[in-house]
């Protein structure tokens, strides 16, 4: 069995920087036509100078691949209209992190509501710049995303023309509000379609499956599967592939993040075929995102075949999901 995917896109990707970037960029730029690049470096990307410099480093690391990094700024309360108007041609959106909620987010927003963020959100709404949100409170870890639903609703109601992307949703509650507001959309990761908290910590702790938002329950996973497999028009693939050196994952104080970028398309093909929805994969990994973002990616065809592939145990110093295991699909060509 063979499958061709046209211009796949990863709408939530961490590439990091420095030596790690040299490992990660080629693994995404070869298989994907474009990706939304997260800005939570140290220091975070908050200026056009930083953004342009980071994009240049990404393209250098990606070498000659046909790939467009869609850059994002790290949200600040005081971005004004003039700055954002200048920035708009260079960005795919602006990423909002609650302060301290995930990797390199200490400079994030402490208070998230329409009044506190009015200046920046009004300018974004007027300029049609998407808001990308890591939607978690600082509450109990299993409740954080559910608690954030009220914040999503408040923002959606008060800024009805603002395109709000609920990033890497993990709960049935987040799925349920998708259809309540015209301006709410979502990305879904590969790993949250496959695992629950039981897979992470039900037996021996599996650090390479530990991520934020943490994997939830079977009920939540089924809700995610239903909208992803049906290619619901308001959801799109965002890997949230988040590499960390092995020493930071297999350690006390394990870093949060699952590295899936180099196997994402193959495992998605396996998952969609298993559920009899292979025809919907194209929409989930490209077509929906094109419509949501109003963006046309570079032309690229990725050819997959149903034949076994052994996932490498490491890519550089990073351990991928399914390391050393056999998956059912392989990428046989890209052009």
CA distances from 126 to 72, 80, 291 (A): 18, 11, 19
User: DSSP string covering 131-165, please?
Assistant: EEE----SS-TTTHHHHHHHHHHHHHHH-TTS-EE
d(CA 35, CA 253): 29
Token representation of residue 46: 């908050």
- Cite the active site residues: 240
Question: Within 13 Å, how many C-alpha atoms sit on residue 201's CB side?
Answer: 8
- Note whether 5 and 271 are within 8 A (CB): no
Question: Token digits for 24?
Answer: 């990660």
DSSP-derived pairing of the beta strands 301-305 and 2-6: antiparallel
Please check whether residue 94 is in contact with residue 129, taking contact to mean a CB–CB distance below 8 angstroms: yes
């Amino acid at each position: 069995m063979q499958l061709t995917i046209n211009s796949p896109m990863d709408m939530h990707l961490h590439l990091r920087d420095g030596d790690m970037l040299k490992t990660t960029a080629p693994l995404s730029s070869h298989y994907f036509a474009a990706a939304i690049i997260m800005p939570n470096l140290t220091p975070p990307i908050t200026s056009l100078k930083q953004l342009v410099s980071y994009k240049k480093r990404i393209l250098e690391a990606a070498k000659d691949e046909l790939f467009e990094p869609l850059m994002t700024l790290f949200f600040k309360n005081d971005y004004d209209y003039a700055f954002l108007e200048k920035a708009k041609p260079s960005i795919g959106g602006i990423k909002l992190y609650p302060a301290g909620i995930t990797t390199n987010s200490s400079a994030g927003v402490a208070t998230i509501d329409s009044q506190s963020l009015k200046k920046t959100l009004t300018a974004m709404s007027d300029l049609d710049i998407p808001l990308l949100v890591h939607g978690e409170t600082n509450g109990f870890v299993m409740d954080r995303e559910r608690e954030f639903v009220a914040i999503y609703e408040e923002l959606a109601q008060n800024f009805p023309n603002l395109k709000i992307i609920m990033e890497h949703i993990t709960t049935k509650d987040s799925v349920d509000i998708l259809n309540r507001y015209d301006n709410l959309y979502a990305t879904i990761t590969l790993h949250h379609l496959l695992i629950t908290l039981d897979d992470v910590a039900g037996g021996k702790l599996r650090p390479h499956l530990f991520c934020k938002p943490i994997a939830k329950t079977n009920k939540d996973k089924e809700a995610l599967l239903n909208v992803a497999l049906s290619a619901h028009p308001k959801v799109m693939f965002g890997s949230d592939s988040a590499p960390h050196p092995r020493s930071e994952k297999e350690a006390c104080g394990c870093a949060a993040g699952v590295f899936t970028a180099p196997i994402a398309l193959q495992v998605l093909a396996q998952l969609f075929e298993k559920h009899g929805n292979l025809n919907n994969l194209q929409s989930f990994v490209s077509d929906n995102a094109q419509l949501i973002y109003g963006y046309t990616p570079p032309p690229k065809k990725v050819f997959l075949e149903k034949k076994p592939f052994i996932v490498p145990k490491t890519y550089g110093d990073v351990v991928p999901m399914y390391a050393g295991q056999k998956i059912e699909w392989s990428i046989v060509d890209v052009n």
